[in-house]
């Protein structure tokens, strides 16, 4: 059984109400996404900026209401949960954001930050104190760090604090939204290692959202590739390097910077064409204006995400 499942999930922003003939343009941030995540698994979610990754992460964490579609968690339909049941769910699904600083309250000491979720869920003071020390040790921080403020830490340490807070209530799933993107490469590797160890130790599942294919390759078991609100390919991380089939996935892989002394320190193949506009998705295959393999059919008919091999799905007419 999947831990998490999305069925035809949709999130549109705007497009509501017309004001003097204007009104807000409808943004199709997530536009019909179905996927699953197994217990103990890391699903990488990749795609260009604005394709809807964070929106999907927030929908799956029930931080935003979907426009349509369903979300199942541990076999239960959680799409419309409210009140007590939603509160209990918050314990089981946590989220970590890219900007490690702004998600921590700068006026609270780290000890208080980590105690807060424990207090909210009714743990008494003495046990909370003990748990805070345990959490600090789990993420590689020292007991005395509990007495410091977030601004007294480096970016990598602040992300460790966020991870500790996410772990406080022993969740099943952590949605990691670009958790290492703002960190230096060496610090990035340390935080990725920590996430990897914690997953093994606590049997966690991650939805790991990232621009950086190297990080996804390191941490994920499977990868979902998103383009303009839709999933265009799902495959194992091992398949990603040798067996990616969708022209967009291949373009993303080609766009990874590689050292090339002849062309400059790093050379990257740019993905052709204009970046996508989720307010105006093209007809037919959404990738067709930029696809090097485009044919007539692509302009009129949208391809469905279909199985091409066990565990490998692709949305392209010509794969």
Q: Which residues pair with 208 in a beta bridge?
A: 44, 176
Name the H helices within the chain: 53-60, 83-92, 110-120, 125-138, 155-167, 185-202, 213-219, 237-243, 247-254, 296-300
- CB neighbourhood size of 301 (10 A): 12
> Which residue, 54 or 205, has its beta carbon nearer to Mg ion?
54
> Which residue, 30 or 251, has its beta carbon nearer to Mg ion?
30
Q: What x-and-dash track marks residues 255-294 binding ligand SF4 by CB under 6 A? A: ------------------------------x-xx--x-xx
Shortest distance, position 93 Cβ to ligand SF4, whole Å:
32
> Which residue, 153 or 206, has its beta carbon nearer to Mg ion?
206
With CA atoms as reference, report the closest residue to 223 among 5, 34, 35, 43. Answer: 43
- The pairing of beta strand 312-314 with beta strand 222-227: unpaired
> Which residue, 252 or 316, has its beta carbon nearer to ligand SF4?
316
Examine residue 27 and tell whether it contacts ligand ATP (CB under 6 A).
yes
Q: Which of 223, 244, 303, 313 is in the footprint of ligand SF4 by CB under 6 A?
A: 303
Q: Which of 247, 249, 278, 305 is in the footprint of ligand SF4 by CB under 6 A?
A: 247
Examine residue 55 and tell whether it contacts ligand ATP (CB under 6 A).
yes
Which among 53-61, 67-75, 108-116, 158-166 is the span making contact with ligand ATP, rule CB under 6 A? 53-61
Q: Which of residues 211-230 bind ligand ATP (CB under 6 A)?
A: 211
> Which residue, 5 or 210, has its beta carbon nearer to ligand ATP?
210
Shortest distance, position 235 Cβ to ligand SF4, whole Å:
15
Which of Mg ion, ligand ATP, ligand SF4, none sits in contact with 15, Cβ below 5 to 8 A by type?
none
Which two three-digit tokens encode residue 46?
A: 């990749």
- CB neighbourhood size of 216 (10 A): 22
Q: Taking each helix axis from N to C terminus, what angle separates 125-138 and 110-120, rounded to the nearest 10 degrees?
A: 120
Q: How many residues bind Mg ion (CB under 5 A)?
A: 1
Distance (Å, whole) CA 85 – CA 91: 10
Which of ligand SF4, Mg ion, ligand ATP, none sits in contact with 179, Cβ below 5 to 8 A by type?
none
Distance (Å, whole) CA 189 – CA 54: 22
The DSSP secondary structure of 44-86, one letter per residue, reads: EEE-STTSSHHHHHHHHTTSS--SEEEEEETTEE-TT--HHHH
- The pairing of beta strand 42-46 with beta strand 222-227: parallel
Examine residue 245 and tell whether it contacts ligand SF4 (CB under 6 A).
no
Q: Which of residues 45-74 bind Mg ion (CB under 5 A)?
A: 54
Residues that bind ligand SF4 (CB under 6 A): 247, 285, 287-288, 291, 293-294, 298, 303, 316-318
Residues that bind Mg ion (CB under 5 A): 54
């Amino acid at each position: 059984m999947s831990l998490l499942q999305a069925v035809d999930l949709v999130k549109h922003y705007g497009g509501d109400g017309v004001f003097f003939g204007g009104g807000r343009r409808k943004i199709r941030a997530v536009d019909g996404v179905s996927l699953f995540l197994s217990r103990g698994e890391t699903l990488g979610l990749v795609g260009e900026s604005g394709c809807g990754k964070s929106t999907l992460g927030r929908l799956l964490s029930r931080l935003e209401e979907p426009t349509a579609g369903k979300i199942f968690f541990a076999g239960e339909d959680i799409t419309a949960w409210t009140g007590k049941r939603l509160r209990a769910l918050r314990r089981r699904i946590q989220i970590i954001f890219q900007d490690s600083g702004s998600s921590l309250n700068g006026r609270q000491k780290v000890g208080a930050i980590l105690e807060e979720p424990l207090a909210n869920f009714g743990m008494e003071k003495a046990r909370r104190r003990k748990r805070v020390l345990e959490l600090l040790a789990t993420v590689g921080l020292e007991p005395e760090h509990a007495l410091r403020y977030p601004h007294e830490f480096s970016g990598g340490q602040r992300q460790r604090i966020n991870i500790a807070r996410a772990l406080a209530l022993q969740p099943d799933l952590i949605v990691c939204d670009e958790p290492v993107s703002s960190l230096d490469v060496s610090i990035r590797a340390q935080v990725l290692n920590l996430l990897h160890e914690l997953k093994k130790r606590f049997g966690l599942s991650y939805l790991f959202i990232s621009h950086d294919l190297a990080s996804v390759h390191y941490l994920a078991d499977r990868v979902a590739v998103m383009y303009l609100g839709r999933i265009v390919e799902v495959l194992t991380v091992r398949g990603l390097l040798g067996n990616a089939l969708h022209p967009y996935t291949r373009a993303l892989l080609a766009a990874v910077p590689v050292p090339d002394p002849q062309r400059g320190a790093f050379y990257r193949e740019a993905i052709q064409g204009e970046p996508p506009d989720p307010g105006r998705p093209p007809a037919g295959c959404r990738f067709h204006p930029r696809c090097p393999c485009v044919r007539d059919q692509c302009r009129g008919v949208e391809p469905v995400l279909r199985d091409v091999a066990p565990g490998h799905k692709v949305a392209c007419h010509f794969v």
